[in-house]
Amino acid sequence: MSDTTQTGPVLAADGTPLKRSLQRALRREKLRALLLIAPLLIFVLVTFIAPIADMLFRSVENDIVADTLPKTVVALKSWDFHSGEAPGEAVFAALAADLQVAVEAKTHTRLGSRLNYEKTGISSLFRKSGRKVKKWDLASDAPFREKFIKIDKDWGDVDVWRVIQTYSGKYTNGYFLNAIDMEKGPNGPQWRDESQQIYLMLLKRTMFLSITITLSCLLLGYPVAWLLSNIPMRTSNLLMILVLLPFWTSLLVRTSAWKVLLQQQGVINDVLVWVGLVADDNRLVMINNQFGTIIAMTHILLPFMILPLFSVMRTIPPTYLRAAKSLGATNWTAFWRVYFPQSIPGIGAGSILVFILSIGYYITPELVGGTTGVFISNRIAYHISSSLNWGLGAALGSILLLLVLVLYWLYDRIVGIDNVKLG
């Protein structure tokens, strides 16, 4: 008992303190683990995190004005638009110098398109001016103010200069303001004209439709998943193929099939007219509206609800239900008090999956949604691929991302994310 009187640290066999020795072993272990997941980590970083970070950055980035017109931006600092007059000769001289460089590099038209998002007409203003300014001699052709205004009287427009000044910073919140139907006015942020407000409405509609689609997927998917998990394996495997079959068919084909079924001269209307439920001149409008979007997307996303539900339900022992009934519960009580609570993890997983998928859908709504059934993602797609306003597209995407994160957090608070199971 007396040999434990040693007061120094506990030593390992090789004489180093045990604590340090253990730490070293642990560190080696951790490093090996890290190396093992490194390929995946790098892959996720490069293909997932980096693009998202890039998108978030694009929504505030605004280098183009200061990069293309460096001298003008500096000269414009002292100008105050409240004066009600276009800036003086110094600014125009700087503009002439900047434009000559920009025309050489062919960046002036790019800047024009960028500023045209904020004020209509700037695109052609820059294109037109670039052609003329190219031929000027900076040393001998001064003064430039009158010359610019002679090219286009818009150069004398205070509002054009205000836009250039407002967007001369390296970063801007303009895209985000735009994404919530606001703009940078002369006196700070202001609401856009009512005839141009659309994004908040689309955001609300996207939420509403996504929730509706999730609920209808749940309503349709729950009984199917229950059936699948309560019949013999062989039959359930066969039925599972039917659930998965839509996965193997092209999205466009499935969407077009809904068109054939739902349109006014389509199969369903024909049958209804033939049966006599609907008058021939009063056929139901079931497509090119919200109804069409809900139907088509519920069909497309249904497997994403059924699969997690099925895998959770399969793990619920049927004996529990029998036990509940033998103790006197009615069918409903047995289901509601015993079975349903155990299937909640599946409902959570399926709902999150369907909701997040539907919030970013745009092909199906574009084809069957008409004007009332399109999502905010349709506008994002438009800005990315057609108007090239990537900043606005990025801002809209960021807002959507934020919204999903908030909903995820809410879900975690209310239901608990540990309660989500995919099997």
* Residue among 21 and 124 whose Cβ is closer to other proteins: 124
Residue choice 23, 196, 230, 326 for contact with other proteins (CB under 8 A): 196
Give how far Cα 38 sits from Cα of 24, 32, 33, 403, Å.
20, 10, 8, 30
- Verify binding: residue 325, other proteins, rule CB under 8 A: no
Angle between helices 122-133 and 158-166 (to 10 degrees): 90
Applying CB under 8 A, the span of 2-10, 74-82, 141-149, 384-392 interacting with other proteins comes to 384-392
Considering the complex, what minimum distance in angstroms separates the CB of residue 383 from other proteins?
A: 10
* Residue among 121 and 246 whose Cβ is closer to other proteins: 121
- Verify binding: residue 261, other proteins, rule CB under 8 A: no
Please state, in angstroms and rounded to a whole number, the distance separating the CA atoms of residues 388 and 48.
22
The pattern of x and - marking residues 262 through 291 that bind other proteins according to CB under 8 A reads -xxxx---------------------x---
Residues 6+ apart with CB under 8 A from 397: 55, 59, 380
The pattern of x and - marking residues 126 through 165 that bind other proteins according to CB under 8 A reads -x--------------------------------------
Please state, in angstroms and rounded to a whole number, the distance separating the CA atoms of residues 41 and 179.
33
302 neighbors 214 (Cβ within 8 angstroms)? no
Applying CB under 8 A, the span of 20-28, 120-128, 158-166, 340-348 interacting with other proteins comes to 120-128
Considering the complex, what minimum distance in angstroms separates the CB of residue 394 from other proteins?
A: 13
Residues 201-260 touching other proteins, rule: CB under 8 A, are 201-202, 259
- Verify binding: residue 197, other proteins, rule CB under 8 A: yes
Q: How many residues touch other proteins (CB under 8 A)?
A: 41
Strand pairing partners for 35? none
Please state, in angstroms and rounded to a whole number, the distance separating the CA atoms of residues 256 and 250.
10
Residues 89-108 touching other proteins, rule: CB under 8 A, are 105-107
Considering the complex, what minimum distance in angstroms separates the CB of residue 198 from other proteins?
A: 4
- Verify binding: residue 112, other proteins, rule CB under 8 A: yes
Applying CB under 8 A, the span of 70-78, 133-141, 330-338, 387-395 interacting with other proteins comes to 387-395
Applying CB under 8 A, the span of 61-69, 122-130, 226-234, 240-248 interacting with other proteins comes to 122-130
Name the phi and psi angles at 190, rounded to 5: -145, 160
Residue choice 23, 190, 333, 372 for contact with other proteins (CB under 8 A): 372
Applying CB under 8 A, the span of 6-14, 190-198, 211-219, 322-330 interacting with other proteins comes to 190-198
Give how far Cα 312 sits from Cα of 7, 70, 328, 352, 421, Å.
56, 61, 26, 15, 7
Give the footprint of other proteins on this chain (CB under 8 A): 105-107, 109-110, 112-113, 116-117, 120-124, 127, 195-198, 201-202, 259, 263-266, 288, 366-367, 370-372, 379, 382, 384-390
